[in-house]
Amino acid sequence: MSAKTIYLLSLLCAWQLSIANSVNDNAASPARAAVTSHIPRESVASKGIASIGYSKRLHILEIEFVNGAVYRYLQVAPSVHRDLMAADSKARYYDANIKGNYPSVRVRPRVKEKAR
């Protein structure tokens, strides 16, 4: 390998580590920095998921749940997004293939129901 290739690989590794650390720090701290979403989401027919968006450039999957919560999943391959969109049950596909398998960031917490 050339020195340039090794240098670029080391930069890529450092960048991914910094993302992973920021995700872990963000999840551990009670006062999280607000995350703004610019990923367009498409409404889907599902009992648990309201809409799904994907950034091909950044490999970020964003899911809005019916309870109002929005989560962003990092390092998601385009094939996972494609399979999710094609799944008969998007909620089951999410549970089996996405939840717990990718670093995630909460973009928006669930909407709490008003007391009656």
Closest CA relative to residue 60, chosen from 19, 95, 31: 19
Looking at the structure, tell me whether residues 68 and 113 fall in a common domain: yes
Q: Are 68 and 61 in contact (CB under 8 A)?
A: no
Looking at the structure, tell me whether residues 84 and 40 fall in a common domain: yes
Looking at the structure, tell me whether residues 40 and 10 fall in a common domain: no
For the chain, give the mean pLDDT: 83
Looking at the structure, tell me whether residues 64 and 13 fall in a common domain: no
Of 30 and 47, the one with more pLDDT:
47
Looking at the structure, tell me whether residues 89 and 56 fall in a common domain: yes
Q: Kindly provide the b/e burial profile for residues 62-98, where b requires at least 16 CB atoms within 10 angstroms of the residue's own CB.
A: bbbbeeeebbbbbebeeebbeebeebeebbebbeeeb
Structural domain harbouring 61: 34-116
Looking at the structure, tell me whether residues 47 and 29 fall in a common domain: no
Of 1 and 63, the one with more pLDDT:
63
Looking at the structure, tell me whether residues 25 and 71 fall in a common domain: no
Instruction: Give residue 57's pLDDT.
Output: 94
* pTM score, whole prediction: 0.68
When mean pLDDT is compared across 19-23, 49-53, 70-74, 76-80, the lowest value belongs to 19-23
Instruction: Give residue 90's pLDDT.
Output: 96
Looking at the structure, tell me whether residues 69 and 86 fall in a common domain: yes
